[in-house]
Amino acid sequence: MTLVAIILGGLAIFIGYHYYARHIDRDVIQSDPRKATPATLYMDGVDFVPASRNVLYGYHFKSIAAAGPIVGAITAANIWGWLPSIIWLFLGVMFMGWASDYSAIVVSVRNDGNSISAIAHRLIAPRTRTILLTFIFFYLLLVAGAFGNLVADVLNRQPQVPLAIVALMVMGLLGGQMLYRWRMDLIAVTAITVGVTLLVILLGPAGVSGEGAQTVQGPVGQALQAFDRGIDSLAGGGPLYGYYDPTLPPAQGQQPGGAVLNNVNVTPSFIFWLLFLCLFSYLGAVLPIWRYAQPVNYIGFWLTFITIALAFLGAALAVVLNPEVAMFRLAAINPQRPDLGFGIVGGQAWQPLWPMMFVTIACGAISGWHALIGSVGTARQIENETDMLPVGGGAMFSEMALGLLSLLAVTVAGTGGGAAAFAGGIGRFLNVLGLPAQYGTALGAAAFVIIVITVVQLVIRIMRVTLAEALAERMPIFRNPHVGIIVSLVLMCLLVLSGTWVYLWQLFGAANQLMASLSLLIVTVWLVSARRNPAFAGLPMLFMYVTTMAATLVIARNLWETVVVPNLGRAGAGVAVGGAIAMVLVSALLFIAAAFIGWDGWQAYQRYRGRPAGEPQTAPARP
């Protein structure tokens, strides 16, 4: 089955790219190698710099591919089963994902390299830009909350991982020093920093014996377990507080129809690892980017790249070398949701396939964040209009492959969900290549945490800037970067400690997909203004707009009915209730903001449709 899925994925990429995407590029956009691009027209040696299509493809792919496609795919496979998830991955990227990424680059290239929000300001309405900025802030907050929860949880539960993160921090600082201060060769810096971090990761599982619940940790794991126990003993070995999370199995002793019992306990060691994440992110946000965040990101990229590439190879070879590994252990359709989640039960989480799966798998199929990166960065480096498709569309198709691998990893692992299942699946694939399972699993877990933690530190960095942009004029205290960082970290911790991770992830997915539909809306209006057929952007925009608006309502309903109501008045559940109410408010805000942009977009669509033919956005001829 693994090989069949890989072949089908390859076919989806081939058909989507060669037939549909090329047709749009040739006949609708009419990319022209003779037209000057902003990179050649406004070359300033910094932002506007023409780059080769291969370099730019690598750069754009690295900028968009990481934690999003991995986490979304493994979460959806556990909620609905692998079959609907894989279908959405294939169809989403074939008809929507590539169109969103590619068209954001096109519209920017054809509009002097302006970003999507600047174009929205001109084409749709001035307030659209302000609303998009608000969107970006809450989007970042949700990313930080969802990923922060994941990181703290894995660091707390898997004692082999924290040492790897400490090594990453040290190597990141050293890497920045070696590259920018000592001016060492990049290859040497890569060999030292990545090599040492990899060694430390593999040191974690050394000496581990047994499997599953009978696992006996090696020296590193035992030391970290003793450390965690020491911290927990500060609160007498018990939890600090507990609450009821409807997305997790019920607590032991829970009677049907009886009083709801806490099934989540927040321990001092969890708080400690959350604070550790805050420190990691604080360094990333406050230090110059070259000193810490960039080298940490770079080391993380190599570790992930090595792990994913080897896992892909193992998955492909498993059919020949070890067919048992390639067997799917996860059900095609989750047997606990034979109705695909459409049935609604009062007081329980409602997870209908539509719209919820379409926001749970976000980045692997379509993502609004890509549009932002494409229009702010990549579009200004496009040397030739014919490079727009291989760079924008090609990178998105490649990202789907990453989502597919994550889905396969969790499907062959079969049990449980989240980071542990992903790491287990990666361990099985690497085992095909001869790496002992415990090392492969540790590598999978470390790679997972590293790509997530590197995103969190940069998200906090950008949140600080966004806060300063929005509030500094009225509240000058936000000019101080430390204030912005601390506020961002406190907000992140509130979301993390309020629990209900699945809702948080889905809300993030909804914000992400709403950004994608808003970006497609801007592209649609631009296509109409340029008298071109807007269907390739307009139809996905309509689908994603309706889907994500519906999803925000379902998430708000779930939060209210399954978190706020059962936890209200429960001792110690104040943070859970406060966090859930905050998330309901964020859902409402996203809904209202999207409604405003949708209305403005519709007005702009009508305005341009009635205008005489003309193409004001066409770039001049290449000099």
Size of the site for another protein (CB under 8 A): 64
Q: Which of 199, 465, 565, 595 binds another protein (CB under 8 A)?
A: 465
Q: What is the C-alpha separation between 60 and 371, in angstroms, rounded?
A: 11
The dihedrals phi and psi of 124, each to the nearest 5 degrees, come to -105, -75
Measured from the CB atom, the residue of 173 and 231 that comes closer to another protein is 173
Q: Does position 198 bind another protein by CB under 8 A?
A: no
Instruction: Please write down the HEC assignment for all residues of 297-348.
Output: HHHHHHHHHHHHHHHHHHHHHHHHHCCCCCCCCCCCCCCCCCCCCCCCCCCC
DSSP-derived 3-state class of residue 108? helix
Interacting residues with another protein between 473 and 532 (CB under 8 A): 512
Q: List Cβ neighbours of 500 (8 Å cut-off, separation of 6 or more).
A: 245, 246, 247, 559, 563, 576, 579, 580, 583
Q: Which of 301, 328, 354, 596 binds another protein (CB under 8 A)?
A: 301
Q: Does position 51 bind another protein by CB under 8 A?
A: yes
Burial call 110-142: b when 16+ CB within 10 Å, e when fewer? bbbbbbbbbbbbebbbeebbebbeebbbbbbbb
DSSP-derived 3-state class of residue 35? strand
Measured from the CB atom, the residue of 119 and 576 that comes closer to another protein is 119
Asked if residues 176 and 284 have their Cβ atoms less than 8 Å apart, the reply is no
Structural Rg of the chain based on CA atoms = 24
Q: Does position 462 bind another protein by CB under 8 A?
A: yes
Bridge partners of residue 266, in order along the sequence: 241
Asked if residues 514 and 366 have their Cβ atoms less than 8 Å apart, the reply is no
Q: Which of 156, 267, 294, 517 binds another protein (CB under 8 A)?
A: 294
Q: Does position 620 bind another protein by CB under 8 A?
A: no
> Which part of the chain contacts another protein (CB under 8 A), choosing from 22-30, 421-429, 453-461, 578-586?
453-461
> Which part of the chain contacts another protein (CB under 8 A), choosing from 79-87, 368-376, 571-579, 600-608?
368-376
Q: Does position 340 bind another protein by CB under 8 A?
A: no
Q: Which of 190, 222, 254, 617 binds another protein (CB under 8 A)?
A: 190
Measured from the CB atom, the residue of 176 and 268 that comes closer to another protein is 176
Give the total residue count for the chain.
623
Q: Record the tokens describing residue 449, joined without a space.
A: 């945490």
- The interaxial angle of helices 353-360 and 82-92, nearest 10 deg, is 70
Interacting residues with another protein between 371 and 390 (CB under 8 A): 372-373, 376-378
Measured from the CB atom, the residue of 224 and 452 that comes closer to another protein is 452
The nearest distance, CB 478 to another protein, in angstroms, is 14
Q: Does position 6 bind another protein by CB under 8 A?
A: no
The nearest distance, CB 301 to another protein, in angstroms, is 7
Q: Does position 36 bind another protein by CB under 8 A?
A: no
Interacting residues with another protein between 95 and 134 (CB under 8 A): 114-115, 117-118, 133
Q: Does position 290 bind another protein by CB under 8 A?
A: yes
> Which part of the chain contacts another protein (CB under 8 A), choosing from 229-237, 287-295, 347-355, 615-623?
287-295
The nearest distance, CB 189 to another protein, in angstroms, is 9
Q: List Cβ neighbours of 211 (8 Å cut-off, separation of 6 or more).
A: none
The nearest distance, CB 46 to another protein, in angstroms, is 4
The nearest distance, CB 196 to another protein, in angstroms, is 17
Q: Which of 7, 11, 54, 568 binds another protein (CB under 8 A)?
A: 54
Instruction: Classify the phi-psi angles of 210: left when phi > 0, otherwise alpha if psi is within -120 to 50, otherwise beta.
Output: left
Q: Does position 52 bind another protein by CB under 8 A?
A: yes
Q: Does position 454 bind another protein by CB under 8 A?
A: yes
Asked if residues 547 and 514 have their Cβ atoms less than 8 Å apart, the reply is no
Q: Does position 191 bind another protein by CB under 8 A?
A: no
Q: What is the C-alpha separation between 253 and 204, in angstroms, rounded?
A: 36
State the CB neighbour count (10 A cutoff) for residue 607: 14
Asked if residues 221 and 442 have their Cβ atoms less than 8 Å apart, the reply is no
The nearest distance, CB 184 to another protein, in angstroms, is 12
Proportion of the chain in helix, strand, coil states, percent, rounded to 5: 70, 0, 25
Residues of the shown chain interacting with another protein in the complex, contacts defined by CB under 8 A: 42-47, 49, 51-52, 54-68, 114-115, 117-118, 133, 136, 143, 179-180, 186, 190, 289-290, 293-294, 297-298, 301-302, 305, 363, 367, 369-370, 372-373, 376-378, 451, 454-455, 458-459, 461-462, 465-466, 469, 512
